[in-house]
Structure 1
Amino acid sequence: MADNSRRPLLRTLIGRVLRRHRLDQERTLAEVARAAAVSVPYLSEVERGRKEPSSEILAAVCDALQIELSDLLAEVGHELVEHRAPVFRLAPVAPVTPQTPGRFGGGSVMLLAA
């Protein structure tokens, strides 16, 4: 089973991106909440990743921030990729053949890892 303890929740990343856009626009929670027709406490919970907003709420908040929902989701996708666990792949190994004299010693195998 994969260790998901370091993988952030989707709602956390959505909130982070929404907050970043709001702050970049130098707008208050109250301004955006009013424009999106949601309560200030609810929008605050969404930004902090404590509430999982519906698609309707996300669309309303994106409209209030004048960003496309697809752009929000793309940014969240990029953050998910940044948090993805690294994948290690082994390089193909040459077939074992009789030892060439003078290379690495008798019958030994050398494995290099980065």
Structure 2
Amino acid sequence: MASLNVGNLGSLGEYLREQRRTAQLSLRQLADAAGVSNPYLSQIERGLRKPSAEVLQQVAKALRISAETLYVRAGILDEKDREELETRAVVLADPSINERQKQVLLQIYDSFRKENAAETAAEKAAQAAAEPEASSQ
């Protein structure tokens, strides 16, 4: 198979290697814990293979780290998506509030995000409209 060492794959592999070493796991131990082959995991670490989201999730679980972090490193998610997912996960995992409260909190969170996105879009539109006027004077 041809090498796929492109974009974020190198940094993903380096990050995985670093996390594996921090967890004091051998390549074989991590491969066994994640349910993938040792050679396949080695190729991911060297940036030769692009793992699926499912494989990344298995590896993240074995390393006890956020799968979303690996998704961002692999280019599957952008940073803003990761932050939103992590915020939602924290709210949903909070044992001190009940399910109804969690849903209400997430609805409020969504409404604030939509409101802020609309304000940002309006500001950008106003700036774009003002630029032609300034350049024509």
- Shorter-normalised TM range: 0.5 to 0.7
Q: Figure out how many residues of one structure are paired with residues of the other and give that number.
A: 70
Instruction: Report 1:23-102 matches (<5 A).
Output: 23-73=21-71
Answer with 43-52 or 8-17: which moved more: 8-17
Contact 1:17 1:76 (C-alpha < 8 Å) held by counterparts: no
Residue 41 of structure 2 aligns with an amino acid whose one-letter code is L
Gaps of 5+ in 1: 1-7, 78-114
TM-score using structure 2 length:
0.47
CA distance in 2, matches of 1:64, 1:56: 12
CA distance in 2, matches of 1:69, 1:16: 16
Q: What stretches of structure 1 move > 6 A for 4+ residues in a row? A: none
- TM-superposed CA distance for 1:72, in Å, is 3.1
Say if 1:29 and 1:59 are closer, same or farther in 2 by CA, change over 3 A.
same
Instruction: Report 1:99-114 matches (<5 A).
Output: none
* Larger radius of gyration between Structure 1 and Structure 2: 1
**Structure 2 residue 16 is the aligned partner of structure 1 residue 18:** yes
**Identity rate, percent:** 39
Q: Residues 17-51 of structure 1: CA distance to partner in whole angstroms, max 9, x if unpaired?
A: 11110011111011100011100000000001000
CA RMSD of aligned residues (A): 1.8
CA distance in 2, matches of 1:74, 1:9: 12
Larger helix percent? 2
- TM-superposed CA distance for 1:75, in Å, is 6.2
Gaps of 5+ in 2: 1-5, 76-137
Secondary structure class of the residue paired with 1:35: helix
Equivalent residue number for residue 133 of structure 2 = none
Q: Residues 42-75 of structure 1: CA distance to partner in whole angstroms, max 9, x if unpaired?
A: 0000001000001111111111111011233456
Contact 2:30 2:59 (C-alpha < 8 Å) held by counterparts: yes
